[in-house]
């Protein structure tokens, strides 16, 4: 029986309720929960991981045979059991484990029901615990309410009423024999009602979301190969460790591959299997670098300088190195594969312009330069080529350059809370002269290789030619487009009544600002809308804003009369505002989404406000009021959100003209004359 907080139970150390909510939802990919659980399994020295998607319940069962979640062994003054349910407390140490912040596992609590069954070595019983709606109830959960469980297979069965055939086949797999034979120690986690939209698309493995695949394609590519979950595991988790090189298969140096094996946390022995159509299918460990060409293919491969188009290249090159810096080991891994070779061999990855169903993971997102932490690919980092010493390789950071290679930089990089980006300390390492020098030496050495060197030279040559031609072409196209754009005249202003002005187009926030500035100096003093015209003083507002402005009646320069002004082509209350609401006094947008009252407007800095329609802004905009932090700290201010197009119509006499669109070119085929 669960105890109340008034009792003397042992409770998790949940310091802030809102932290749990943010952590449980703060993910960039629907499968990040799997990434975190796999990392925990590796940290627990598991040799076996099994994943069972439960599509009927929008959830899954995750099992590993690691050391289990101990209730008695304390590390860092907390047991692993208590740490799992707590925030900010961990039994792990940076440098030895991925999960040293003890926050990744909190993604499990973005679900309707959480269940854990665990057992440590030499324990006589399994221990089981379930929490309904953990986001709401974790802080009230008594850790002592777990049960000693002699029949955990029965505990699992009771969780699922009316299981379908898919679920039933999994329950039959996890029977008493499974527990008594395979689960002598380890952890089994069951999630139901995971907070993920379109759960079957990401976690389905039986081909249910691949109806558009042709019969021929089905013969050559099983739904398993197209599974989003399977490919996410291969490309983005600890099981897809970038340091596992498989040299005999991929062509990396065997000596360098063996050297990587001495890295902290390296493990290529853990078996990971995914439940597919009634059976477990194993996923090979290590990042899926493409296999080296066979002898026959090598005869057909042309180097980058000898292909007519780089996009048709099937060239290939491999290089890797380790180096020490400030007591830590770092790894550099370069796999060059021409774009044609990449497209042909990563059949399971989506690519631009392809209409057939694939896994949903984009090919373009798997190419280029990446930062990795203890083997896990974390995030792209093309900024590296902006540093002195590496700028000469900047062409590799271009979209066209990234098509042909992957460059992994791996080490003990510290990550931010959600572990999808780098902390300041990690960035400090990457920007250091010593680190940049090591990367420069690596690239310089391997640029002497014909394949990699020719690729860089070819990209640089094409870039110079394309840049020159594209500038001229873009200018000419924009000149041609002018005649088809919407235009307007202001008929009650003498200087402008015969002059056409272009309406802003998408992405032309600067033109919105220029028009607003121009007409702010021409507003009639008696206009009832004069109060909504501010006079911009600068086109640089600080804090990221576009302008600092004053009311039309002001002519002084004291700080308190100036206002923060932001220009947009289109503004919607539904989109995150990319500046601080608390420093913004007015948002001027050409196109505007007019909301109902009390809709949320949120910025990127933890503030949000409520929309309010007021009579004085009827037809031209609305206000954002009640601005506060997510924690409830109020800000006494409001923002006017205004459509410049509608404000012009209200303030001046406007004549609009929209020409017909540019005619589409039609090809005329000449009829062949009869002989």
Place of tokens 């505990």: 155
Per the document, the length of the chain is 675
Residue 449 dihedral angles phi and psi, to the nearest 5°:
-70, 135
Do 88 and 236 belong together in one domain? no
227: in domain: no
175: in domain: yes
Do 136 and 85 belong together in one domain? yes
Determine the pLDDT at residue 674: 43
Place of tokens 């340091």: 243
Do 27 and 133 belong together in one domain? yes
Q: Distance between CA atoms of 335 and 316, rounded to whole angstroms?
A: 8
Q: Distance between CA atoms of 389 and 277, rounded to whole angstroms?
A: 52
**Which residue, among 186, 72, 85, has the nearest Cα to 142 in the 3D structure?**
85
Do 457 and 329 belong together in one domain? yes
Determine the pLDDT at residue 19: 52
Which element (helix H / strand E) includes 674?
A: none
Do 169 and 249 belong together in one domain? no
Q: Burial, 125: exposed, middle or buried (Cβ in 10 Å; 0-12, 13-18, 19+)?
A: exposed
Determine the pLDDT at residue 471: 76
671: in domain: no
588: in domain: yes
Do 384 and 525 belong together in one domain? no
Tokens for 236, please give them: 């983005």
Q: Distance between CA atoms of 194 and 112, rounded to whole angstroms?
A: 6
206: in domain: no
Number of independent structural domains in the chain:
3
* CA angle (25 as vertex; 20, 30 as ends), nearest 5: 140
Query: Residues with Cβ < 8 Å from 656, sequence gap 6 or more?
Result: 486, 487, 488
Q: Is 396 left (phi over 0), alpha (psi -120 to 50) or beta?
A: alpha
Q: Distance between CA atoms of 105 and 645, rounded to whole angstroms?
A: 49
Query: Residues with Cβ < 8 Å from 265, sequence gap 6 or more?
Result: 42, 96, 97, 98, 238, 374, 375
Instruction: Assess contact for 321 and 245: CB atoms under 8 A.
Output: no
Q: What is the CATH number of the domain that holds 67?
A: 3.30.565
Place of tokens 């309406």: 503
Do 457 and 531 belong together in one domain? no
Instruction: Assess contact for 404 and 337: CB atoms under 8 A.
Output: yes
Do 494 and 457 belong together in one domain? no
Handedness of CA 646, 651, 655, 659 (dihedral sign): negative
Instruction: Please compute Rg for the chain using Cα positions.
Output: 30
Do 421 and 277 belong together in one domain? yes
Do 190 and 62 belong together in one domain? yes
Full domain range(s) for residue 259: 232-281+304-463
Q: Distance between CA atoms of 338 and 552, rounded to whole angstroms?
A: 60
Query: Residues with Cβ < 8 Å from 296, sequence gap 6 or more?
Result: none
Q: Distance between CA atoms of 561 and 549, rounded to whole angstroms?
A: 8
Which element (helix H / strand E) includes 42?
A: helix 32-43
46: in domain: yes
Q: Distance between CA atoms of 290 and 294, rounded to whole angstroms?
A: 12
Tokens for 555, please give them: 């002519």
328: in domain: yes
448-469 CB burial, b ≥16 within 10 A, e <16? ebebbbbbbebbbebbeeeeee
Do 520 and 433 belong together in one domain? no
470: in domain: no
Last residue of one domain, picked from the residues 405, 431, 463:
463
Which regions of the chain are under pLDDT 70? Answer: 1-9, 11-27, 88-104, 206-223, 352-357, 417-418, 465-469, 665-675
Do 382 and 514 belong together in one domain? no
141-180 CB burial, b ≥16 within 10 A, e <16? bbbeebeebeebbebbbebbeebeebbeebbebbeeebbe
Q: Please report, for residues 111, 191, 325, 393, 558, the alpha-carbon distance to residue 195 in angstroms, rounded to integers and kept in the order given.
A: 5, 10, 41, 42, 51
The model's pTM is: 0.67
Task: Report strand pairing: 48-54 vs 126-132.
Answer: unpaired
Last residue of one domain, picked from the residues 138, 170, 197:
197
């Amino acid at each position: 029986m669960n105890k109340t907080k008034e009792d003397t139970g042992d409770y998790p150390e949940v310091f802030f309720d809102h932290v749990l909510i943010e952590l449980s939802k703060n993910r960039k990919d629907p499968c990040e929960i799997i990434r975190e659980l796999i990392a925990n399994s590796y940290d627990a020295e598991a040799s076996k991981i099994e994943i069972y998607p439960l599509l009927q319940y929008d959830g899954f069962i995750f099992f590993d045979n690691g050391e289990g979640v101990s209730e008695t062994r304390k590390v860092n003054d907390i047991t692993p059991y208590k740490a799992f349910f707590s925030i900010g407390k961990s039994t792990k140490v940076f440098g030895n484990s991925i999960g040293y912040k003890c926050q990744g596992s909190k993604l499990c609590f973005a679900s309707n029901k959480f269940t854990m069954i665990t057992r440590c070595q030499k324990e006589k019983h399994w221990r089981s615990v379930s929490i309904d709606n953990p986001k709401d109830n974790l802080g009230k959960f008594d850790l002592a309410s777990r049960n000693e469980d002699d029949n955990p297979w029965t505990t699992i069965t009771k969780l699922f009423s009316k299981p379908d055939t898919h679920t039933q086949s999994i329950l039959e797999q996890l029977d008493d024999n499974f527990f008594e034979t395979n689960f002598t120690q380890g952890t089994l986690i069951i999630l139901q009602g995971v907070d993920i939209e379109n759960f079957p698309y990401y976690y389905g493995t039986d081909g249910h979301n691949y109806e558009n695949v042709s019969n021929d394609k089905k013969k050559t590519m099983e739904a398993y190969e197209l599974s989003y979950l399977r490919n996410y595991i291969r490309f983005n988790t600890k099981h897809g460790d970038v340091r596992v090189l498989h040299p005999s298969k991929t062509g990396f140096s065997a000596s360098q591959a063996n050297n990587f094996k001495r890295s902290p946390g390296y493990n290529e022995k853990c078996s990971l299997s995914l439940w597919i159509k009634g059976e477990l299918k194993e996923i090979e460990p290590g990042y899926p670098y493409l296999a080296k060409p066979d002898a026959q293919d090598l005869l057909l491969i042309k180097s980058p300088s000898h292909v007519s188009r780089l996009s048709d290249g099937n060239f290939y090159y491999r290089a890797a190195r380790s180096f020490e810096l400030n007591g830590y080991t770092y790894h550099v891994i370069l796999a060059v594969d021409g774009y044609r070779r990449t497209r042909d061999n990563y059949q399971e990855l989506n690519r631009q312009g392809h209409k057939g169903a694939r896994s949903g993971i984009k090919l373009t997102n798997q190419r280029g330069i990446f930062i990795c932490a203890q083997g896990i690919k974390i995030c792209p980092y093309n900024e590296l080529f902006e540093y002195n010493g590496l700028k000469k390789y900047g062409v590799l950071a271009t979209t066209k350059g990234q098509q042909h290679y992957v460059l992994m930089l791996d080490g003990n990089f510290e990550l931010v809370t959600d572990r999808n980006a780098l902390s300041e300390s990690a960035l400090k390492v990457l920007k250091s002269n010593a680190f940049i020098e090591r990367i420069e030496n690596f690239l310089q050495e391997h640029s002497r290789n014909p394949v990699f060197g020719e690729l860089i030279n070819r990209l640089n040559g094409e870039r110079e030619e394309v840049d020159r031609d594209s500038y001229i072409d873009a200018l000419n196209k924009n000149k041609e487009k002018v005649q088809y754009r919407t235009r307007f005249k202001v008929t009650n202003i003498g200087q402008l009544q015969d002059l056409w002005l272009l309406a802003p187009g998408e992405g032309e926030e600067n033109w919105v600002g220029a028009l607003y500035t121009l007409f702010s100096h021409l507003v009639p003093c008696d206009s009832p809308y004069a109060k909504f015209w501010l006079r911009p003083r600068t086109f640089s507002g600080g804090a990221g804003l576009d302008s600092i402005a004053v009311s039309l009646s002001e002519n002084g320069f004291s700080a308190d009369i100036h206002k923060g002004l932001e220009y947009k082509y289109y503004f919607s209350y539904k989109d995150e505002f990319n500046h601080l609401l608390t420093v913004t006094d007015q948002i001027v947008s050409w196109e505007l989404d007019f909301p109902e009252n009390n809709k949320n407007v949120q910025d990127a800095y933890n503030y949000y406000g409520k929309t309010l329609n007021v009579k004085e802004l009827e037809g031209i905009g609305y206000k954002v009021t009640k601005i506060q932090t997510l924690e409830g700290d109020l800000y006494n201010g409001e923002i006017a959100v205004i459509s410049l197009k509608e404000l012009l119509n209200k303030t001046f006499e406007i004549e609009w003209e929209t020409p017909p669109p540019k005619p589409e070119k039609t090809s005329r085929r000449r009829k062949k004359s009869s002989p």
